[in-house]
Amino acid sequence: MRNIIILLLALATKVLSTPVMTRQDLFKQAHREQFCTNLINFNHFYYSMDEPKNITGIPADMSVHWKTGKVFYTLISDEMKMSLQVLHPSGEVETIKVAGLGQSTTVDNLNDIVYLATDNGIYKYKDDGSIELYTALGEDVMYITVSSDGATMYIATWPQNRVHKITNDGQKQETFSAIPNGHGLTIDPRNNIFFAATKTSYILKNGHNVPIKIKGLPSERMSGVFVSRSDEIFAMDENSNLYSIDAENASAKHLGNFNVSGVNTFALDSADNVLIGVKNAILKFVAYEKNPCSDYPK
Ligand SMILES: *[C@@H]1O[C@H](CO)[C@@H](O)[C@H](O)[C@H]1NC(C)=O
Ligand SMILES: *[C@@H]1O[C@H](CO)[C@@H](O)[C@H](O)[C@H]1NC(C)=O
Ligand SMILES: *[C@@H]1O[C@H](CO)[C@@H](O)[C@H](O)[C@H]1NC(C)=O
């Protein structure tokens, strides 16, 4: 009897000293298998898709405030109504209250200012959620983009369909008649202007008068152009093919694909994570510099 007790005690100690497999561990292991098999590798990064953020409607014109990680976008509802939204890093979505009709947003990441384009001018959006009139031009502002030094803004107005350059005191400076409308208006640090016409991406190089169709990108399938925090210029088509753009020779190079269809807008956050807006969701592909599954048996 005594021997049996000692034996049982010895067994119990042995069981306790080996790692216990809990349900949580099993879940992690299963999740890890899924995580590792779905990893996408291109553009010097390994990407894994996070839990999608479900929304109701189509997100458009995404921009990111590097410092806070807040994602700003225009939500087009099923009834084709537009509203400006902010997706907080916590996953919470908030509607930005504007005077009039909110059309789109842009972020001056150098000076931490978020600008709102509305049908009655441009507003500044403050961190506490309040807004302040920046400039009223007497035109309906559809799209805006701001130079990387924050000094110059390019705006597209409706129904005139023209793009103006305005200085940071709100004065109009120059009109770019060669740009048919401001869809997808984006500016790079060298003041080259990118825009889309019939879902085809063009560049109007700084100092030029004639826009050029960017070589190496599909026609009539582009979702837009985005300048990353490290000043790299990216483009994405509707089928989530990612391209890098060389503004100098107006050409693009295909980098890879995220296996997502129906892309309407995309953006990169300050850590080069890729955000993709599709009908009813914002997807986030987390970028890893090193393979997070290098020790995972295939
Ligand atoms: C988001 O939508 C997808 C597909 O419609 C669904 O499978 C998923 O459960 C939803 N997620 C949340 C958090 O509601
Ligand atoms: C554009 O320039 C890049 C390097 O700056 C080069 O790799 C690429 O081949 C060029 N593309 C064309 C079409 O000339
Ligand atoms: C692409 O996504 C579909 C589902 O949307 C999936 O069935 C397919 O396996 C994926 N392909 C790759 C290469 O990951």
Other Cβ atoms closer than 10 A to 15: 9
The pLDDT of residue 7: 45
Give how far Cα 201 sits from Cα of 21, 189, 224, 242, Å.
53, 18, 7, 13
Give how far Cα 189 sits from Cα of 60, 82, 113, 148, 165, Å.
23, 30, 17, 6, 15
Q: Which residues line ligand 2 (CB under 6 A)?
A: 215, 246, 248-249, 251
Superfamily of domain 43-288: YVTN repeat-like/Quinoprotein amine dehydrogenase (2.130.10.10)
Looking from the CA of residue 215, the nearest atom of ligand 2 is 13
Distance CA 40, CA 45 (A): 8
The pLDDT of residue 271: 97
Distance CA 14, CA 8 (A): 10
**Tens-digit pLDDT profile for the chain (298 aa)?**
455 444 444 444 444 445 566 777 776 777 888 899 999 999 999 999 999 999 999 999 999 999 999 999 999 999 999 999 999 999 999 999 998 899 999 999 999 999 999 999 999 998 888 899 998 888 899 999 999 999 999 999 988 888 999 987 778 888 998 898 889 999 999 999 999 999 999 999 999 999 999 999 999 999 999 999 999 999 999 999 999 999 999 999 999 999 999 999 999 999 999 999 999 999 999 999 999 998 876 5
Other Cβ atoms closer than 10 A to 93: 17
Q: Are 81 and 68 in contact (CB under 8 A)?
A: no
| Ligand having the closest approach to the CA of 258 | 3
131 φ, ψ (degrees, to nearest 5):
-125, 155
**Å from CA of 33 to ligand 1 middle:** 21
Secondary structure percentages of the chain, helix, strand, coil, to 5: 10, 45, 45
Distance CA 292, CA 35 (A): 9
The pLDDT of residue 136: 81
| Ligand having the closest approach to the CA of 250 | 2
**Å from CA of 71 to ligand 3 middle:** 26
Domain ranges of the chain: 43-288
**Å from CA of 217 to ligand 2 middle:** 14
**Å from CA of 260 to ligand 3 middle:** 8
**Å from CA of 34 to ligand 3 middle:** 13
Distance CA 285, CA 269 (A): 10
The pLDDT of residue 172: 82
Distance CA 86, CA 120 (A): 20
Whole-prediction pTM value? 0.89
**Angle 264-266-272 (CA atoms, 0-180°, nearest 5)?**
165
95, β-bridge pairs: 85
Q: Which residues line ligand 1 (CB under 6 A)?
A: 52, 54
Tokens of 161: 């369909």
